[in-house]
């Protein structure tokens, strides 16, 4: 996993406020993590593409509003991502869960048919288990495992304490494990 920030990030950010082309290295560094987080929250890759574009467009437009003394750039970026996703989901007026279609497509391209079928079944079981979680739990899991943020960064974004983030994640993972074990037992 990548380190929590880009080596010369602050210098690049200052340069990008003057010259938007300097933002390219920051974009390249964060793109995969942002896209994975968005994809974990919405079901369609085309929507994830659009939302990811909106996120980086807003970040670039508001770059002069970022203040490093208030927190890390990554936390600020993922707060913007969270807000855009929340607005999108609110406008959809329906609950969205983690979609693993992109992972399935990638895995199927690398594995044979038997492995692809087993992986697809496992992902369907995980999808069903994730649907048992509430929106906050799914969001925290997306930030932790798809966006690669640590508990401190998630706490800064969400307004929760770092220990509360850890407790919520722990309980959500326990619920996922229980649901997956129950599903496996029922399928035997």
What's the pLDDT tens digit per position in 108-145?
555 566 665 555 666 677 777 788 888 899 889 989 98
Q: Which pLDDT belongs to residue 1?
A: 39
Examine the domain organization and report whether 22 and 83 are in the same domain: yes
Cα dist from 152 to 112, 116, 118, whole Å: 40, 36, 35
d(CA 54, CA 50): 6
Examine the domain organization and report whether 179 and 144 are in the same domain: yes
pLDDT band at 10 (very low <50, low <70, confident <90, very high): confident
CA 8 from chain centre, in angstroms, equals: 24
Predicted TM-score (pTM) of this structure = 0.68
Examine the domain organization and report whether 12 and 97 are in the same domain: yes
Examine the domain organization and report whether 98 and 120 are in the same domain: no
Whichever domain contains 86, its CATH number is 1.10.1740.10
Asked if the model's pLDDT at residue 95 lies above 50, the reply is no
pLDDT band at 71 (very low <50, low <70, confident <90, very high): confident
């Amino acid at each position: 996993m990548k380190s929590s920030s880009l080596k010369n990030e602050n210098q690049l950010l200052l340069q990008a406020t003057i010259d938007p082309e300097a933002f390219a290295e920051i974009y390249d560094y964060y793109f995969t993590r942002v896209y994975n987080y968005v994809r974990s929250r919405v079901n369609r890759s085309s929507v994830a593409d659009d939302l990811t574009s909106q996120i980086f467009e807003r970040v670039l437009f508001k770059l002069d509003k970022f203040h490093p003394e208030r927190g890390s750039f990554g936390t600020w970026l993922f707060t913007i991502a969270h807000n855009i996703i929340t607005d999108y989901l609110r406008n959809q007026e329906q609950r969205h869960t983690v979609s693993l279609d992109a992972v399935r497509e990638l895995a199927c391209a690398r594995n044979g048919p038997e492995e692809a079928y087993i992986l697809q079944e496992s992902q369907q079981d995980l999808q069903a288990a994730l649907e048992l979680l509430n929106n906050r739990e799914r969001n925290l899991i997306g930030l932790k495992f798809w966006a690669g943020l640590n508990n401190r960064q998630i706490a800064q974004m969400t307004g929760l304490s770092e220990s509360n983030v850890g407790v919520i994640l722990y309980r959500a993972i326990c619920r996922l494990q229980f649901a997956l074990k129950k599903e496996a037992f029922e399928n035997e």
